[in-house]
């Protein structure tokens, strides 16, 4: 969806990308952990799935606002992609056509892009997998698109329910897709790394048979809430 | 959905509401016309429907970010409502429980609110209709909610795919729900009124039997695009 | 869906219906209130909707387990219907065909049935409305069904996510459909009536402008949970 | 959806419409009855609903194949509409945008069209109702469309799962939408009228308390199938 | 969904588990075969899918009734799990949040649990696969949950349309999830094993080119039903 | 769905299959390419997915029209299958039951069939994969079906939104399912092969860093359409 204050027919050439060092740190963290580190915000809806098993990506967002059944702006966006970017495509309406296939993937990969996140459909999925070009999408659909109507590139977009600003870090893995605002990238990486360290310790205790009831000291709270044990 | 930069557990007390004069102008215009006047942005997804036939609303948004199955923030929001406001409720995840019913409607109406737009469920629908309190929602659902977890009030939210800032104008009728940014309210009203005037003229010509092909001078364009007439 | 312990091809003739006095009490209460009085259980999923505006029903369940595209058991069930019953039909699989129309409605009405709740489709909806025969269903669908395969009558069924035992009280209104176990009918009516009385008092206070924050003494809890007010 | 043998970019000017006398007969019959008379074929999927309560239509199909987000062919179709026609619009892909509103309705009505059936979205619904222009659609959606890409007019289309040939009779009421091939129009009217007469007799017997078990002599068949009555 | 007679806030400590010998037999049989052996009952809805390819499980049910967005009862349930159990989690409403991840999986596995069936979402799916902890769910979703509201453990639940009693045998494979009542475990294993033996013989005949028409002697029945062969 | 002019209860024995040489050519081409070569027609809806990773098929259609929950016609169809055929099954209504499993697959494979395309459900998916019998379906569902009602074999059907005539070529791969009319098979293969050759050249240029903006000479068109570049 397009955001009220973002005009159609616009390409912003200069965007502020998140610090590459922060992106590198975020790329080693999982989506579920990052979503927690973000205070449980920034997550796309769960219908966004990898188009092949094992796909993963992390990079800075070049945003694309598409019109239904039209992928003209994909070509406009290609020119704005820099190494380390991830293309993030939203559509002005609900549409699952195949906006993207092997030729665009070849072009995006040649520009150094690390993948695509699209609230729409893609095709040539076997080739995408063979190329190692990760895509997270709402659908796989062979239906082609035209090149007739202007959308925008590098404007804020709502993609699968999440607001994405150009330059934000987008991370996707088997658990979903999450957006980290560029300005918060290091801070979120800090919080996520701390959480990971903490969880490693908890995992060892769970593996040793300690119950969450005891580890998290839940018994009193449950009793207060009125939990009754019956035989 | 919550927007990355909006923390949970926050209530903003002072928001900049759109000019009441602009709201009054927008209240006389239809959602489809306004969506056009906005350059086709700001529209919520079409699953948002009135809970009773003929419901309509227009007012300034007090935004609410709910947690699933929890309507605590509805009560927090009530205090922030002023005459002429519309409550706009999003949820941190997809949830259709009945977050709102006749008691909250009574409270909101007493505060001067003009209705509710909610990406979730509501209940006591017959009473809402009897009270004349318009609601647009994703679902009607008798299931009640608890009051246990903090969301936020008056932070930016993504509601049914549209970004809503506190103070924006929200207009809803049988055609759907649209959001007009507060700062653009007069400008959008201008464009929409101009469009309405223009359409009145066109309607008369269509009624007289003139074809769009001629009114919009489409015949040449169609021929150039390759349209073939067969007998 | 059918319940594991319920064989197909069975009709139970003698069932224990809820006390008619309790049914009469429950018929004056709304679905949302009853769902609360039940400790928030017994509610069907929200895709169950009245087939015409204003439909309402309350009665004792005669359950029907249908096969997909087959309404043979509707005729078997007709014979088991007594005045004050509501037919509650589930299907062994997900199916939205038109299992029920004006002829069956005429037959059920002649038997004294008060309506139908069906996790499937119905047809002849205009006639159902003209007859005043309320139906709550998942779909309206003109497609007819055959009479070839056995289901069951008066076995436990899962209808739209809720377990229904023959003789339970089923109540449906604009807010949805709820099931009250026969043995709890009076107790649930007691709780619901108490709740209604309580809500009348609250409604008056809300109408007078008292906030839920104060009425429910929520301010301290919100503060403890960490709610921050910003200007 | 478009049918393999139907090229895009084509308008067929001369189509063979069903006999007006047959259309008149069909207009007095219900969709459920006609679907039965057709041997249970020709029915559209049940997500096709009237956009206002009480809408009904019957007429000869002028078919329209739309591109997603594009209503150019609606204007091309307007010129092909004759009094007594119904516009039947399919799309080359799944799309719920608002392809049709009050201006096109005014134009279609001026041409003598009796309504619209569209596997897509429409807008200006309150005006459509005020005009008495019946529409059956998959969605109500304020989102506008462009005029950039060719589809076709008067080619065979698959609309909501049903194949429609130009000139076929399309009938829609609260129960759904059904397509009667032009060449079978009288024969189907015969069968449907016979069925109606038959049902009137049955209805009287059901109202008098006769069971379907006896009226249709089902008891023996049920017993043979193994139905067991338990006490 | 919760079952009307099951209170919230209850943990039943002693449940009657199906005989381990029967569970062992059932673990060697497929879901489709078992569903047939059960007289076609006990099957969950087909949206329940393995979270990784090749996942399979069989064990005795410890049931969990969750509140939306809340996984407190998962920790309560961990203590009730015994070697050979399968956790079966339903929710009081429709919710796809990530109720379960690698830490809980570590805890459940340490208790000897054989997997999880959940009418909700899970996360940390790559780790679940690496651990060999099979999960069947409605969704994969990174969104975390809170621990604030009581549900129940070891009460009857409706999970994805199927009624599950604590102690029942739950079997899941690529074809879906099925529930075998504890008391019928041996009897169902008998029927399923017999069916398997029978099918092996049929498979050989089909492989040799025998038609089902002849193997099942269908020709006469088809002719009686009126099947016509055209050239 | 069934097509209005196709009676139920009919088996056509002699159909005109596409030329095997053309089928061989089409089998080397991808679904997305063929859909383009067909002028973007003939594509099934994107919910049709392979039941195991890597499934692919190409062959001449033997069409099957099923009744819901009934696979009788699958056995009738088996006799009509010839080496090189693909079974294409539609249903008279929306139904996802498991119409097809390992026994029918063994029979179809013994007849020389190359796979199944079904707008419904299938089961025994692990065995289908082990057999190398490719299936594209709407669902995987363990629920079995009965054999009681007549459908048809080798009549035109609408399967997942696409019209299929007996003898047409059906091709399916990871991108979806497409139908090539028998009479156009060579012509479509010509167009698709030409397109493939053309794309190979483009791919090399994209890989070398040429932009689509330049390769397709889009810059002028974009400027004319009003695209603005901002810094």
Closest residue to E93, CB basis, from B92, B143, B148: B143
CA angle B147, B150, B153 (to 5 degrees): 110
Q: What is the Cα–Cα distance from A31 to A171, expressed in whole angstroms? A: 6
Q: Do E111 and A213 touch (CB under 8 A)?
A: no
Residues of B in contact with D13 (CB under 8 A): 229-231
Distances (CA, A) of A209 to B187, C14, E77, E115: 65, 51, 14, 16
Half-sphere exposure of residue C206: CA atoms within 13 angstroms, side-chain side? 21
Question: Cβ–Cβ contacts within 10 Å for residue F199, how many?
Answer: 18
E4 — pLDDT class (breaks 50, 70, 90) = low
Residue of C nearest to B11 (CA): C229
Q: With 90 as the cut, is the pLDDT of residue C30 above it?
A: yes
Chains in touch with F (≥3 Cβ pairs < 8 A): A, C, D, E
**Is residue F76 classed as helix, strand or coil in its secondary structure?**
helix
Closest residue to A32, CB basis, from E104, E124, E150: E124
Interface residues of F toward E, Cβ cutoff 8 Å, are: 9-14, 53, 72, 74-76, 78-79, 96, 98, 101-104, 106-107, 109-111, 121, 123-126, 139-144, 147, 149-150
Q: Identify the CA nearest to E98 among candidates E66, E129, E76.
A: E66
C91-120 average pLDDT score: 98
Q: With 60 as the cut, is the pLDDT of residue E5 above it?
A: no
As a whole number, the mean pLDDT across chain C is: 96
Residues of E in contact with F104 (CB under 8 A): 206, 212
**Is residue B224 classed as helix, strand or coil in its secondary structure?**
helix
Q: With 60 as the cut, is the pLDDT of residue C73 above it?
A: yes
pLDDT at B171: 98
pLDDT tens track for B118-157: 999 999 999 999 999 999 999 999 999 999 999 999 999 9
Q: In Å, how far is A208's CA from the nearest CA of chain D?
A: 52
Q: With 90 as the cut, is the pLDDT of residue E6 above it?
A: no
Q: Do A4 and B45 touch (CB under 8 A)?
A: no
Q: In Å, how far is C208's CA from the nearest CA of chain E?
A: 32
Q: With 90 as the cut, is the pLDDT of residue D5 above it?
A: no
pLDDT tens track for B166-189: 999 999 999 999 999 999 999 999
Chains in touch with B (≥3 Cβ pairs < 8 A): A, C, D, E
E172-190 average pLDDT score: 97
pLDDT at C6: 64
pLDDT at C93: 96
Residues of F in contact with A121 (CB under 8 A): 46
Closest residue to F148, CB basis, from C95, C96, C149: C149
Q: What is chain F's length?
A: 231
Residue of D nearest to B50 (CA): D140
Q: What is the 3-state secondary structure (H, E, C) of E21-50?
A: HHHHHHHCCCHHHHHHHCCCCCECCCCCEE
pLDDT at A7: 75
The percentage of chain C sitting over the pLDDT mark of 90, rounded to a whole number, equals 97
pLDDT at D4: 61
Interface residues of C toward D, Cβ cutoff 8 Å, are: 9-14, 53, 72, 74-76, 78-79, 96, 98, 101-104, 106-107, 109-111, 121, 123-126, 139-144, 147, 149-150
Closest residue to D97, CB basis, from A70, A93, A141: A93
Write the ipTM: 0.95
pLDDT tens track for B88-118: 999 999 999 999 999 999 999 999 999 999 9
Contact call for residues C180 and C34 (beta carbons, < 8 A): yes
Closest residue to F163, CB basis, from D41, D158, D181: D158
**Is residue B138 classed as helix, strand or coil in its secondary structure?**
strand
Closest residue to F5, CB basis, from D4, D45, D181: D181
Residues of D in contact with F42 (CB under 8 A): 2, 4
Distances (CA, A) of D20 to A89, D26, D60, D154: 50, 10, 9, 18
pLDDT at E68: 97
Whether there are 3 or more C-beta pairs closer than 8 Å between F and B is no
β-bridge pairing F176-180 and F169-173:
antiparallel
Q: What tokens were used for B10?
A: 């926050």
Residue of C nearest to E170 (CA): C4
pLDDT at A5: 56
Closest residue to B35, CB basis, from D9, D102, D143: D143
How many contacts (CB atoms, under 8 Å) link B and C? 107
pLDDT at F35: 96
Interface residues of D toward C, Cβ cutoff 8 Å, are: 30-32, 35-36, 40, 43, 46, 49, 53, 173-176, 178, 199, 202-203, 206-213, 216, 218, 221-222, 225-231
Q: What is the Cα–Cα distance from E196 to E203, expressed in whole angstroms? A: 10
Contact call for residues B95 and E95 (beta carbons, < 8 A): yes
Q: Do B95 and E68 touch (CB under 8 A)?
A: yes
Q: In Å, how far is D214's CA from the nearest CA of chain B?
A: 40
Own/partner pairs, A209-213, CB within 8 angstroms, 24+ separation: A209/E110, A209/E111, A210/E107, A211/E75, A211/E78, A211/E79, A211/E107, A212/E74, A212/E75, A212/E78, A212/E103, A212/E104, A212/E107, A213/E75, A213/E76, A213/E78, A213/E79
Q: Do C213 and B79 touch (CB under 8 A)?
A: yes
Q: What is chain C's length?
A: 231
Q: What tokens were used for F54?
A: 């890597």
User: Which residue reads 């809503």 in tokens?
Assistant: B164
Q: With 80 as the cut, is the pLDDT of residue C3 above it?
A: no
Closest residue to A10, CB basis, from F35, F211, F228: F228
Q: What is the Cα–Cα distance from D198 to F31, expressed in whole angstroms? A: 50
Q: What is the Cα–Cα distance from E54 to E39, expressed in whole angstroms? A: 26
State which H helix or E strand residue A230 sits in. Answer: strand A228-230
Q: In Å, how far is F37's CA from the nearest CA of chain C?
A: 37
First to last CA, chain F: 54
Residues of A in contact with E76 (CB under 8 A): 213, 218, 222, 227
In sequence order, which residues have a C-beta less than 8 Å from that of residue A72 and are 6 or more positions away?
A146, A147, A148, A149, A150, A151, F218, F222
Full pLDDT tens readout for chain F, 231 residues: 766 656 799 999 999 999 999 999 999 999 999 999 999 999 999 999 999 999 999 999 999 999 999 999 999 999 999 999 999 999 999 999 999 999 999 999 999 999 999 999 999 999 999 999 999 999 999 999 999 999 999 999 999 999 999 999 999 999 999 999 999 999 999 999 999 999 999 999 999 999 999 999 999 999 999 999 998
Q: What is the Cα–Cα distance from C105 to C113, expressed in whole angstroms? A: 9
Please list the rounded mean pLDDT of every run of 10 residues in chain A (231 residues).
74 98 98 96 97 97 98 98 98 97 98 98 98 98 96 97 97 98 97 95 96 97 96 89
State which H helix or E strand residue F57 sits in. Answer: strand F57-66
Burial class for F204, CB neighbours closer than 10 Å (0-12, 13-18, 19+) = exposed
pLDDT tens track for F99-147: 999 999 999 999 999 999 999 999 999 999 999 999 999 999 999 999 9
Helices E185-207/F102-110 angle, 10° precision: 0
Supply the DSSP string of F177-231, one letter for each residue. Answer: EEEE-GGGHHHHHHHHHHHHHHHHHHHHHHHTT--HHHHTT-HHHHHHHT-EEE-
Q: With 60 as the cut, is the pLDDT of residue B5 above it?
A: no
pTM: 0.96
Q: What is the Cα–Cα distance from B151 to A146, expressed in whole angstroms? A: 42
Label residue E154 left, alpha or beta by phi (over 0 means left) and psi (-120 to 50 means alpha).
Answer: left
First to last CA, chain B: 54
Contact call for residues A117 and A136 (beta carbons, < 8 A): yes
Q: What is the Cα–Cα distance from A18 to F39, expressed in whole angstroms? A: 43
C-alpha dihedral, A64 to A70 to A71 to A73, nearest 10°: -50
Distances (CA, A) of A45 to A118, B93, D177, E98: 12, 8, 34, 12
CA angle C123, C125, C128 (to 5 degrees): 115
pLDDT at F7: 76
Indicate which of D2, D3, D4 best probes the interface with F, i.e. most F CBs within 10 Å of its own CB.
Answer: D4
Closest residue to F141, CB basis, from E46, E209, E228: E46
Contact call for residues E106 and E78 (beta carbons, < 8 A): no
């Amino acid at each position: 969806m397009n955001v009220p204050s973002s005009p159609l027919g616009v390409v912003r050439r200069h965007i502020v990308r998140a610090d590459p060092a922060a992106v590198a740190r975020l790329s080693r963290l999982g989506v579920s952990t990052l979503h927690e580190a973000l205070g449980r915000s920034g997550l796309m809806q769960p219908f966004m799935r990898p188009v092949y098993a094992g796909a993963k990506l992390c990079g800075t967002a070049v945003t694309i606002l598409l019109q239904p059944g039209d992928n003209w702006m994909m070509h406009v966006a290609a020119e704005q992609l820099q190494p380390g970017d991830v293309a993030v495509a939203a559509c002005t309406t609900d549409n699952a056509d195949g906006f993207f296939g092997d030729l665009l993937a070849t072009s995006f990969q040649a520009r150094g892009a690390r993948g695509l996140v699209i609230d729409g459909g893609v095709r040539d999925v076997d080739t995408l997998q063979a190329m190692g070009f990760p895509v997270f999408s709402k659908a796989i659909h062979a239906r082609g698109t035209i090149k007739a109507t202007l959308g925008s590139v590098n404007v804020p977009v709502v993609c699968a329910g999440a607001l994405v600003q150009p330059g934000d870090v987008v991370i996707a893995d088997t658990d979903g897709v999450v957006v980290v605002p560029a300005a918060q990238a290091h801070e979120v990486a800090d919080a996520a790394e701390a959480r990971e360290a903490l969880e490693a310790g908890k995992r060892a205790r769970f593996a040793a048979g300690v119950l969450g009831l005891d580890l998290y000291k839940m018994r009193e709270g449950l009793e207060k809430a009125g939990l009754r044990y019956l035989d």
